[in-house]
Amino acid sequence: MPPSRNLRLLLEYDGSRYHGWQRQKNALTIQEVVETALAKLTGEPVRVIGSGRTDARVHARGQVANFKTNSALPLKAFLHGLNSLLPPDIAVLAAEEAESDFHARYAALTKTYEYRILNRPQRSPLQRLHTWWLPQPLNLLAMQQAAATLLGEHDFSAFRASGGRPGSPRRQVLAAHWQPGENGLLIFTITADGFLRGMVRSLVGTMVEVGRGKRPPSHLQKLLASGDRRQAGPTAPPQGLSLVAVIYCGVQGSSRPAPK
């Protein structure tokens, strides 16, 4: 009997102790933990599809996932039941019925990521798992100028990590900007129709070199044209990165679930 329901979840998690989203044989992942909890709740094996495969130690405030089930449990039972079974570093923010053909990854229109840098002389024990600490001063204006060059459709091969999914390296960036936060925080936010593996962290690592005065802001345009990853900067560490929102047609996955 084919599953009768397709349910959509909005998830938040701290990825610090996980080896990314995607289930793996010899490492603990978010997908495995969520699927295990769902199997206990429904009494049936469940495969969960995420909107994106966040890497090891990367966080999410707006990961969207869907799964199919024959369970007749009400939505509130999925919300509260799952949260009672999940560890403290993973939570379900919302659960809702989805169309039978909804697919969390293929139906996504845009995704938004955020990267946080703690740019101050003193490190922060409280933020060490969620920021990249850089004690040397950075030129925020130069980094803002570099981010502006990313807008539009480009070939992002120069910022693509090895081992990603095959396919076109072209992506359309709808928004990209740096803004200052409190107590030395610098926050980079980028929205695009999709992302290559390692793309955001490679961009951040290169823009940090711009902020350090090692590259001019316009150099990102040259890197995009070159398509050569070897010419770009180092990859920023994973703990500063979070998936914050996924947009679908008429549906938004974000850190703030829609009111019921």
In order of start, what are the domains of the chain with their CATH numbers? 5-107 (3.30.70.580), 110-245 (3.30.70.660)
Q: Residue 256's pLDDT band (boundaries 50, 70, 90)?
A: very low
pLDDT > 70 fraction of the chain, expressed in percent and rounded:
93
Q: Residue 162's pLDDT band (boundaries 50, 70, 90)?
A: confident
Residues 152-178 have a mean pLDDT of: 90
Q: Which residue has the higher pLDDT, 254 or 65?
A: 65
- CB of 147 within 8 A of CB of 176? yes
Sequence-separated contacts (24+) of 120-127 with Cβ below 8 Å: 120/183, 120/184, 124/183
- Which of the residues 14, 55, 89, 101 is marked catalytic? 55
What are the beta bridge partners of residue 65?
9, 50
Name which of 86, 57, 84, 197 is nearest 65 in CA terms: 86
At residue 1, the pLDDT reads 61
At residue 258, the pLDDT reads 36
* CA 46 – CA 104 distance, rounded (Å): 15
Tokens standing for residue 251? 């549906």
Q: How far apart are the first and last CA of the chain?
A: 31
At residue 163, the pLDDT reads 65
For strand 59-69 and strand 241-248, is the pairing parallel, antiparallel, or unpaired? parallel
Half-sphere exposure of 148 (CA within 13 A, CB side): 10
pLDDT at 2 over 70: no
At residue 257, the pLDDT reads 40
Q: What angle do CA 94, 187, 128 make, to 5 degrees?
A: 80
Name which of 70, 84, 97 is nearest 9 in CA terms: 97
Tokens standing for residue 224? 């995009």
Q: Is 55 a catalytic residue?
A: yes
- CB of 167 within 8 A of CB of 151? no
